[in-house]
Amino acid sequence: MLNNEYYTQDQHGPYEFYALGDFQLESGETLKNTQLAYAVHGKLNKAKDNAILFTIMFSGTSKNMEHYIGTGKALDPDKYCIILPNQLGGGLSTSPHNIDSSHAMAGFPYVSIGDDVVAQHKLLIEHFGIQELQLVTGWSMGAQQTYEWAIRYPDMVKRAAPIAGTAKCTPHDSLYVDVFSEALRSDPVWNSGDYSDPHACELGLKRLANVFALMGLCTEFYKQEQWKRIGFDSLQEMLAGFWEAWFKPMDPNSLLTQAKKWQQGDSSKHAGGDLVKALNSIKAKTYVIAFEKDMFVPVEDCKYEKQHVPNSELKIISSLMGHFAMLGLLDEDFKRMDSLFRSLLSCDVS
Amino acid sequence: MLNNEYYTQDQHGPYEFYALGDFQLESGETLKNTQLAYAVHGKLNKAKDNAILFTIMFSGTSKNMEHYIGTGKALDPDKYCIILPNQLGGGLSTSPHNIDSSHAMAGFPYVSIGDDVVAQHKLLIEHFGIQELQLVTGWSMGAQQTYEWAIRYPDMVKRAAPIAGTAKCTPHDSLYVDVFSEALRSDPVWNSGDYSDPHACELGLKRLANVFALMGLCTEFYKQEQWKRIGFDSLQEMLAGFWEAWFKPMDPNSLLTQAKKWQQGDSSKHAGGDLVKALNSIKAKTYVIAFEKDMFVPVEDCKYEKQHVPNSELKIISSLMGHFAMLGLLDEDFKRMDSLFRSLLSCDVS
């Protein structure tokens, strides 16, 4: 185990653990003594029917989505019990850096979107006794989990808001994952994933950060020097202070575990590979949310899901922050997203 | 000197050389015994007023644009004398791999877009005796050269067609150049540019190729599996057979020389840094040509140039090939471009 001070309660808490025991993965492998880290905001009511599940994106933790939760916001903990489960392999849950045995480091097994969703389902059913969810949402890889939830458990999910993500990884996104994964692996001390220090692969992490900078926003964001709006004086300052600062503390094997999960994400597996059939089976009232300038999950891709999910609407958010509008760094992005959550939660689904 | 069989008459000929002698660069440095490689199609008439200059993009040679030239095409060698000058540092002209002295390999000096244009101007004036050009055109870095020509020599350029490029490198394109340059330099045998074999940096070239694959087309091209239209059975086949096959024979130092030239490209230097003033000074009838799905020179960027070049029109070509529509791999892309050349050449500029 490599102790990494980034994945701690200090940085991302408070969060709790649910012990899944020896957890069988879709691949057939067993992940021993699996811990699912999750955060909870608000209280479950007696009927246990006020729960919202908010799943987590690539490289993120439950902490990173907390700005959507608060009294007076759409995701109001005074009204809802909002549960944010961290990805398996994502750093807080059982992950390459915090497991012993042959599964440590580069030996960590392939974990799928489906594995996350099954683990989350166990948490909700076994630990909380929840039988219905008012809303499942998530951004990017969180959208992949959201689709998987709505397809696997159609009667449990009343409303769904997949945000800037698809039910099946697109070929272009697959290529994107290859490019940034290879940027990370290019680090001189990568050593096939058996690096000696959690922060050794600084150059690889920087290269990965720059690929995200290239694709994460949009050309106009940069042309209009919008970095000034989020507190940076220059592009170089933003690269260092935002993108590199985001990725540099993280564990490379954890990032690659998530990356492979993203790339292999395919909810059509539950309909014999027929994606249309899988999407058709969704019962949830669904807002397919897309960001207008998103360079790796463009609106065009999201239209496909909208077309095939029966009770769905496409909601497009205009923002020069592109894919990263979800971070809510620009106040108007946060407000627009908050109002979509509010609108969806007010939809009658009885 | 590292002999590289890619940069030869066999591969890219026929082309000729114009000896520029000791060529003074904008930086103040002198490039000794500089050779400018160029191809010519058609004959200069007696009045020497039927010339077209077709400049070359990043990683390209004069050979790569020849499909636009032919009897019956807009760029008809029976009517026009079409001159295609290869970039300084681009592989055929004086370049890092074919020069001795301290300028060899990683020691090759910084060459600017302006240096190329001055060298080309010498070729046209001193060698051909050309005083006016019916058209200057070029794609991507060729568009940078086209703007530079129209700004530096406004009375000489009758018509201009900058294609999918800008007069000043945008911040997002600068980031793009950083990402693919770093991908190349990440090669384990890169050795600060002093690699021992011209094809040693195979992994770096592959990584660069994948970054181009990511940004060069568009998401829908991949989603619709359009690779089938250009003769590939799968994405993996296209990555290997198209993108890697394109870049792998090339010289890394040459690519980085061009990359830096691209990144530093700024035609506003001729107007004291005032880009609007520089663009305003263009006298040529200009078609600003953009590709609708271009991910690194989006239409939005080209609109800026259109707005400030006095006698200009914006022409948008719809193609899922994005930035690489210019290669004309899809017949409709070639036809649309050919017809724009024809239309522009028929514009009265007297």
Are B295 and A295 an interchain contact pair (Cβ–Cβ within 8 Å)?
Answer: yes
Question: Average pLDDT in the A335-346 region?
Answer: 98
Residue A350 pLDDT: 78
CA distance A235 to B179: 14
Q: Quick one: pLDDT at residue B270? A: 84
pLDDT per position as a tens digit, A38-78: 999 999 999 999 999 999 999 999 999 999 999 999 999 99
Contact A147, A283 (CB under 8 A): no
Q: How many CB atoms lie within 10 A of CB B196?
A: 8
Q: Residues of chain B with pLDDT > 70: what percent?
A: 100
CB neighbour class for A174 (10 Å; exposed up to 12, middle 13-18, buried from 19): middle
Q: A316 pLDDT exceeds 90?
A: yes
Active site (catalytic) residues of B:
140, 294, 323
Q: What is the pTM of this model?
A: 0.96
Other Cβ atoms less than 10 A from the Cβ of B192: the count is 8
What does the pLDDT read at residue A189?
Answer: 95
pLDDT of residue A132: 97
Does B309 have pLDDT greater than 80? Answer: yes
Band (pLDDT 50/70/90 cuts) for residue B223 is very high
The set of residues, in sequence order, having a beta carbon less than 8 Å from that of B63 and lying 6+ positions away, is B11, B12, B13, B15, B39
Are the beta carbons of B300 and A225 separated by less than 8 Å? Answer: no
Q: What was the ipTM of the complex prediction?
A: 0.94
pLDDT-derived band of residue A3, with 50, 70 and 90 as boundaries? confident
CA B62 to chain A, closest CA, distance in angstroms equals: 29
Between B210, B220, B225, which is nearest A178 by CB? Answer: B210
Q: Work out whether strand B159-163 and strand B285-291 pair parallel, antiparallel, or are unpaired.
A: parallel
Whether the per-residue pLDDT at B307 is higher than 80: the answer is: yes
Q: Is the pLDDT of residue A214 over 80?
A: yes
Contact across the interface for B298 and A219, Cβ inside 8 Å: yes
- C-alpha dihedral, A98 to A101 to A107 to A111, nearest 10°: -60
Q: How many CB atoms lie within 10 A of CB B318?
A: 11
The pLDDT value given to residue B350: 78
pLDDT reported for residue B24? 98
A172:B210 CB<8 A:
no
User: For chain B, what is the largest distance between any 2 Cα atoms, rounded to a whole number of angstroms?
Assistant: 57
Structural Rg of chain A based on CA atoms: 19
Distance CA B159, CA B150 (A): 8
Q: Flag whether pLDDT at B279 surpasses 90.
A: yes
Number of H helices, E strands in chain B: 12, 8
Residue ranges of chain B whose CB lies within 8 Å of a chain A CB = 170-176, 178-179, 182-183, 186, 188, 207, 210-211, 213-215, 218-223, 225, 235, 239, 295-296, 298, 300-301
Amino acid letter at B82?
Answer: I
- CA distances B159 to A30, A44, B140, B281, B311, Å, are 68, 71, 17, 14, 10
Order of strands, edge to edge, in the sheet holding A133-139? A16-24, A30-41, A81-85, A51-55, A133-139, A159-163, A285-291, A312-317
Whether B175 sits inside 8 A of A213 (CB atoms) is: yes
* For range A122-132, the mean pLDDT: 98
Q: Are A124 and A53 in contact (CB under 8 A)?
A: yes
State yes or no: pLDDT of B105 exceeds 80. yes
What average pLDDT does the segment A8-36 reach?
A: 97
Q: Which residues pair with A314 in a beta bridge?
A: A288
3-state percent helix, strand, coil for chain B, nearest multiple of 5: 45, 15, 35
- Other beta carbons within 10 angstroms of residue B8's beta carbon come to 13
Is the pLDDT at A2 greater than 80? The verdict is no
- pLDDT band at residue B38 under the 50/70/90 scheme: very high
Place of tokens 């530079």: B148
Residues 6+ apart with CB under 8 A from A11: A5, A63
For residue A39, the one-letter residue type is A
**Looking at residue B196, what is its pLDDT?**
87
User: What local confidence, expressed as pLDDT, does residue A75 receive?
Assistant: 98
Cα A288 to Cα A306: distance, rounded to the nearest angstrom: 6
Residue of A186, A205, A275 for testing the chain B interface, max B β-carbons within 10 Å: A186
Whether the pLDDT of residue A274 is over 80: the answer is yes
Q: What are the tokens at A221?
A: 């964001």
Give me A108's structure tokens: 């960590």
Q: Which CA distances in Å does B161 have to A256, B143, B325? A: 44, 7, 15
Question: Which of A179, A202, A237, A244 is the best substitution to test chain B (most B C-beta atoms within 10 A)?
Answer: A179
Cα atoms in the 13 Å half-sphere on the side-chain side of A4: 26
DSSP conformational letter for A75: B
* Residue A106 DSSP symbol: G
Statement: residue B1 has pLDDT above 80: no
Helices B202-216 and B171-185 sit at what angle, rounded to 10 degrees?
Answer: 150
CA A7 → CA A2, A59, A69, A92, A281, distances in Å? Answer: 11, 11, 21, 6, 37
Residues in chain A: 350
Q: According to the model, what pLDDT value does residue B94 have?
A: 97
Q: What span, in angstroms and rounded, lies between the C-alpha atoms of B135 and B150?
A: 10
Which residue bears the tokens 């809802």? A80
Residue among B183, B161, B173 nearest B215 (CA) = B173
| DSSP one-letter string for B227-280 | GGGGT-SSHHHHIIIIIIHHHTTS-HHHHHHHHHHHHH-BGGGGGTT-HHHHHH
Whether residue B134 contacts residue B49, with contact meaning beta carbons closer than 8 Å, is answered with: yes
Of B186, B220, B221, the CB nearest to A207: B186
Please write the tens of the pLDDT for every residue from A240-249: 999 999 999 9
> At which residue do the structure tokens 């989505």 appear?
A65
Identity (one letter) of the amino acid at A259?
Answer: A
A82 pLDDT band, cuts 50/70/90, is very high
Q: What percent of chain A has pLDDT over 70?
A: 100
Mean pLDDT of chain B: 96
Evaluate if residue B2 carries a pLDDT over 80.
Answer: no
- Cβ contact B314:B340 at 8 Å: no
Q: What is the pLDDT at residue A270?
A: 85
Catalytic site positions of A: 140, 294, 323
Res. A196 pLDDT band, cuts 50 70 90 = confident
Q: Write out chain B residues lying below 8 Å of A295, CB-based.
A: 295
